[in-house]
Amino acid sequence: MPENNKPVYRLRYGNVVASVWANSTMEGYFFDSTFTRLYKHGELWRESTSFDDRDLPNLAKAAADVHTWIHQQKANAVTVSGDEAA
C-alpha cells in the first residue's frame, strides 16, 4: 500500500489489528485487508504479521468482523432504480 494511503476501516482486538483498504478501479471499489500483531520490544511498539496460538481467537474475530464490514459496504453501494426488478 502507498505510504500516504490510509485504511478506510480499522479495528483492534487485544494485540491484533485489522485494516481494510479501498482500491478504486474502472469497475468500482474492491477491498483488501491486512492483519498485524502488536508487541512491545523494550520500550518500542512493533508490528508483526505472524501470530501465535494465543492470538488466533482475536485474529478469527477480526477476520469475521472485517468480512462483515466489507459485505455491508458492498450492499450499501448497490442501488436499484424504480424500473428495475429487485
Domain regions of the chain by residue span: 9-77
Predicted confidence (pLDDT) at residue 83 exceeds the cutoff of 60: no
- Whether the CB-CB separation of 70 and 31 falls below 8 Å is answered with yes
Residue 4: pLDDT band with limits 50, 70, 90: low
Residue 82: pLDDT band with limits 50, 70, 90: very low
Residue range 27-79, pLDDT digits in tens: 888 999 999 999 999 999 999 999 999 999 999 999 999 999 999 998 887 75
- Whether the CB-CB separation of 68 and 20 falls below 8 Å is answered with no
Sign of CA dihedral 12, 18, 23, 27: negative
Q: Name the helix (H) or strand (E) containing 21.
A: strand 16-25
Residue 10 C-alpha cell reads as 480499522
Q: Among 54, 58, 74, 53, which Cα is nearest to 9's? A: 74
Mean pLDDT calculated for residue range 10-37: 94
Q: How far apart are the first and last CA of the chain?
A: 37
